[in-house]
Structures are given as C-alpha cells and as structure tokens.
Structure 1
Amino acid sequence: MRATLLVVIVGLLSGCSCEKDPQLAGETLRKDLPAKPARKPKPYNATGELVESDEVLFGVRLPVGLGEGQVNRKKVHVFRTPLSTEKVSQYFLQRLDAEHIEPRGKGIVLHRARPLDAPPEGDRVYLSVHTLGSGTRVEIEKLVEPPMGRDVAAMVKEYNKALEKAE
C-alpha cells in the first residue's frame, strides 16, 4: 500500500508544473545564444601567397594570421603562428630590403632590413623566420643606431672636407 501511494504521489508531482522552463524543455532562448564571431580574414590569397594585414611594426607590414606577438626582455617581438615557414619567409623577402640575407633551413634571417618603400636612412630591423614544431616563429627587433658623439661628428666633417680638397 505504501509503495502504491508513493508511486501515485511521485506521478502527480512530476506532472504538476505551473510554468514551463524553456531550458528544461530543451528549448534555448535566442538572447542566450552567443553572437556570431567576426570572420577572421583568410591568411592566403587565391595564388597561395600571404595577405598583408593592417598591422605595422617598426614600419614592417605584418601578414594576416601571424597572431599576437609577445615582447621579451630584450624588446624583441616574438610571434608564433601555424603559417608555413616558407610562405612567411617569402612574404618578408618580397617586402624588405636587407643588407644581408642568411638562409636557415626553411627560414631566413634578414640583417638590417627595411621596407622597400622606406627611405635608406629609415629604421632598420633584424628579422628571423624559422620552423618551430609544426609552425613558425618570427622575431622582429628594431635596431637602434648608437648616437655619434660630437668628437666623431667633427672628425667625419673634417675628413669629408679633406676629401673635397684632395679632389
């Protein structure tokens, strides 16, 4: 008798719901849905080359998909990306003029590089691209020229005058 009474009470209680809770009923309210994330631009164009982004670091336009950079203790900007090392190397080679290019496996090191459209006296960077695991690591460091002291500047001026007289 107790078992029968218990079954009847449980049955009555489970069917007695005054309000319908949409989440319990398997429905989801529209306002609870997350907003659609903005589409990320594709890193490659139709020909398979990396696309330029709007981000510029030390005058160097970075490619789409390079990711967030971190700055280490030496003020070097370091990026880790799943992009192809060869494609990233080619991207920078097409856009930078370097005093010395050093191939390193699938990557490169550009010594004293500057953008092709920058003036010769503009800022220079050290840029390295190399494979890191299944991705790529990019390091960019702004090179700071040591200031010339007054004595050195005066010596250079005198030297240039002496050269002019000798001609």
Structure 2
Amino acid sequence: MGTEINRDFASLLDDLFVVSEPAEIAPAPTIPFDYLAVAEELHSGRIRVAGETAAAGYREAGEELADEFVSLLDMVRAKAVADAVEAATGPAEPEAPEPPSIDPEAIAAELGLGEAKPADLAKLRRIFALANHPDRVAPHLRQRAMVRMQLANMMIDDAKRRAAKKKS
C-alpha cells in the first residue's frame, strides 16, 4: 500500500483486496468514479434534481413494483380478514366424528355376544362400560351413551339368562 495521504476509500479497499488475495484470484475491479463524492455532492445541495425528473424516476420504478405490491397487499388483507374471523368465531374446529351408533345390532356386534362364553359376559360388560359409560364421555354424547349402556346391559342380561337356561 502506498503512503499517499489523500486517497479515496475505494482505492484503499482495492489495495487491501490485492494484498490479502492469493495470486491466482484476480483482484476486484476498481470503481470508475468515487461514490462517496457523488453522495456528498447530492447532499450538499449544489446538485439539484427537478421535481418532475425525480417523480418520473419514481413512477418508472413504481410501475415495475406495482403488481408485486398489489399482490402482497391482497395477501395481507386476506390474512387480516382470516385473523378477524378467527378472533370473532374462535379457531376452526375439526369436524366432529360421527357419534356411536344406538342400533341394537351394532351394539351386539361391538360387544361380541355371538361368540362370547357365559363366563366372559361380566368382563364384556366392564369393558363396554369403560368405553361407553355416560360419566366417561363428552357432555353432548351423554344421552346417547346412556341409551347404549342400557341396550348393552339388557343384551348381556338376556345372554346370561339364556346361558343359565342351557345349563339347567
């Protein structure tokens, strides 16, 4: 690096890159003019840009960005509307699963009464009650659970009576 006192920043950077880079890499290109001096001239007020010239430059740049801006604005508006709807109605709940059937044939199939042994009937009742007792289900399903439990108990009691008749 030289010992000159009045050097611009760009030439100092160029010298640093040349010194620190290996020989096989080409040095960075030099800047043909001093950007800092141009910026200083613009801020000093000695260079004046007509308002119409500046406005034309903004219009040209704006036309290129207008479509992108509009699409981004639409996305922001859609998100704001979705957030407002969610705030007003609460988060969207997933569809509730279909409630359990109260069809006696479906309950009998669920219990497995066809292949159950008389000794297993009490165990079937407990297992069914663990999954379907009205105290163990959601409040909106309690009435249905009560009907299911009544039907299951009735079918298990009938199966026990039939098994007792076969024994005697």
TM over 0.5: no
The structure whose residues are more often strand, as a share, is 1
The structure whose residues are more often helix, as a share, is 2
Q: TM-score, normalised by structure 2?
A: 0.21
Taking structure 1 as the reference length, the TM-score comes to 0.22
Larger Rg: 2
